[in-house]
A and B are shown apart, each in its own frame.
Chain A
């Protein structure tokens, strides 16, 4: 007598919305990595002088780079929002309500973004 082993479909992640969202969240790490590479390219261009920086800006203006960066932004936002939503379940602080952990994450995000904006725009 042998038991029947239920096969796992290669498309298991299409079976329900929550699985698909999870796979998209995992995929977002590729775009996070891309932004790290993009930042390093920017730093290298700035380091190589004004001409290299102008070239980098011109290259960044290409249609495909813009589209790539827009898609990457969407994935990075998905990554941040879904991760923040899960954070209160991972970080349980005695006598601190879960919503406070969530708010703290968004506050830290806003603060860091404001700091970056100040450095870039001043």
Chain B
């Protein structure tokens, strides 16, 4: 058995979260999420948390495990033996109930970077062609599953909630770097704003926390260079030659 210390918050009843302890079986194949499911099924049906795929794809089950943002489906109980395992909601987000956080701030910010293909000119009849090298340019950034671990790890987002944030900027870059896309100029006002890439101070923890190897911190620094070059071109070149 291993002790799990789970943060509980019941809106309308609790003023602040409390910690509740549960003993769950310690099995080598059990992730933290399996422990939570055991609690929900066997010990306390009132526990609330989000999960779906159990295989690190859906991005639903992000939580703070022993102080670090983790996907609870990809974090194994045995790694924390003999325990206890402290499970808290993701930091930097309002808590709706128990381990469920409100990510509407991200959902409002995400469309601002226009994370879709913007193509000038004619769309090919059958398909866009792209070389493997062209795909490699953006593939890493396209792996984002919107799990919010990067926002939870980012002290800039904690202190300046207006910051666009790691995932949103990395997703903007994902399309900027796509050979089929012509939308970089449309995204520039948002990505290169004070609350965009320039708010990032390169702590780098977003990339450490990312379970999919996206490296948002790298994406943001690359964009800073792009934005600076673009601003310089605006200043030096005549209008027609800027792009």
Interface residue ranges, A against B (CB under 8 Å): 1-6, 8, 12-13, 15-16, 18-19, 22, 26, 86, 89-92
Q: How far is the CA of A6 from the CA of B11 in the complex (A)?
A: 14
B115 to chain A: closest CB distance in Å?
20
Question: Are the C-beta atoms of A22 and B204 separated by less than 8 Å?
Answer: yes
Q: Report 30 cross-chain contacts, Cβ distance below 8 Å, ordered by A residue.
A: A1-B11, A1-B12, A2-B11, A2-B12, A3-B11, A3-B94, A3-B95, A4-B16, A4-B17, A4-B94, A5-B94, A6-B92, A6-B95, A8-B92, A8-B158, A12-B158, A13-B155, A15-B67, A18-B203, A18-B205, A18-B208, A19-B155, A22-B155, A86-B204, A86-B221, A89-B215, A90-B202, A90-B221, A90-B225, A92-B222
A12–B91 Cα distance when bound, in Å, is 11
Q: Which 6 A-B pairs have the closest CB atoms?
A: A90-B221, A3-B94, A89-B218, A4-B95, A1-B11, A22-B203
Given contacts A4-B9, A18-B205, A22-B155, 12 further A-B pairs with CB under 8 A are: A1-B11, A3-B94, A3-B95, A4-B11, A6-B91, A6-B92, A12-B155, A13-B155, A22-B203, A89-B215, A90-B224, A90-B225
CA distance A92 to B92 in the complex (A): 31
Q: How far is the CA of A8 from the CA of B9 in the complex (A)?
A: 18
Using CB atoms, name the residue of chain B closest to A95. B133
In whole Å, how far is A78's beta carbon from the nearest beta carbon of chain B?
14
Interface check B110, CB cutoff 8 A: no
How far apart sit A26 and B14, CA to CA, in the bound complex (Å)?
Answer: 38
The CA of A115 and the CA of B159, in the complex, are separated in Å by 42
Which residues of the partner chain B approach A91 to less than 8 Å between Cβ atoms? 225
A22 / chain B contacts, CB cutoff of 8 Å? 155, 201, 203-204
Q: Across the interface, which residues of A come within 8 angstroms of B41, CB to CB? A: none
**Given A15-B67, A19-B203, A90-B224, A6:B93 Cβ within 8 A:** yes
Q: How far is the CA of A92 from the CA of B14 in the complex (A)?
A: 49
Q: In the bound complex, how far is the Cα of B96 from the Cα of A13, in angstroms?
A: 26
Contact with A along B93-133 (1 / 0, CB 8 A): 11110000010000000000000000000000000000000
